[in-house]
Amino acid sequence: MAPCLRRVQPLPATRQGGRAFPAAALLSGLALLSACTSHPAPPPGATLRTRIAALALRQTDFGAVSVIPVRFEHSRIAGPFEDGGRTLYCVSTRMKGRTFDKGERAKAVIRDTGGALSVLSDDEEVCSGHRTEPFSELETLGNRA
């Protein structure tokens, strides 16, 4: 079961014109689906870079909860590098779509702990001074139509 879909108790149907109409159930189902991100999770055998891209795209800074679709350009990744015994990756990109006059810059620091990826929230200063390379996996996953 997808992580954004949860089992909910069915709501009682209301009577409308002599037949049962589960309007409340439909509305609650739509509300649950709207909480899902527009970017699917990577397949189980995905590469580490694809998993990092999928995790970055689930962050609000990368437009995960944006109603307006965004487009990713000039995506970069730095890492892996060690910082205080942690294996880190830095992901940055330029997004267009939410602000109509100019693009936004999004950054994320991702920690790899034995294959388990997590996002570090207030640790962007560790990214300075590390060599970056193009990150086409983020653009491929994020710019799907």
Quick one: tokens of 23? 């309007």
* pTM check: above 0.85: no
Residue 2 lies in a domain: no
Assigned domain for 133 exists: yes
Give the lowest-confidence range in 14-28, 56-70, 75-89, 93-107: 14-28
16 lies in the same domain as 71 = no
**pLDDT tens by residue, 7-44:** 544 445 545 555 444 555 544 544 444 445 455 555 66
Are 20 and 82 members of one domain? no
Q: How many domains does the chain have?
A: 2
1 inside domain: no
Contacts for 33-40: CB closer than 8 Å, 24+ residues apart: 33/4, 33/5, 35/4, 36/2, 36/4, 36/5, 37/4, 37/64, 37/65, 38/64, 38/69, 39/64, 39/141, 39/142, 39/144
Residue 84 lies in a domain: yes
3 domain residue, yes or no? no
- Domain boundaries, position 112: 48-142
Do 53 and 35 have their domain in common?
Answer: no
Specify whether 29 is located in the same domain as 55.
no
H helix or E strand, kind and range, residue 87: strand 86-96
pLDDT per residue over 117-145, tens digit each? 999 987 778 888 889 999 999 999 988 75
31 and 82 in a common domain: no
Phi-psi region for residue 116, left (φ > 0), alpha (ψ -120 to 50) or beta? Answer: beta
Pairing verdict, β 116-120 and 19-21: unpaired
Answer positive or negative: Cα dihedral of 87, 92, 97, 99.
positive
- In a shared domain, residues 61 and 36: no
**Considering the domain boundaries, does residue 6 fall inside one?**
no
Same domain, 31 and 53: no
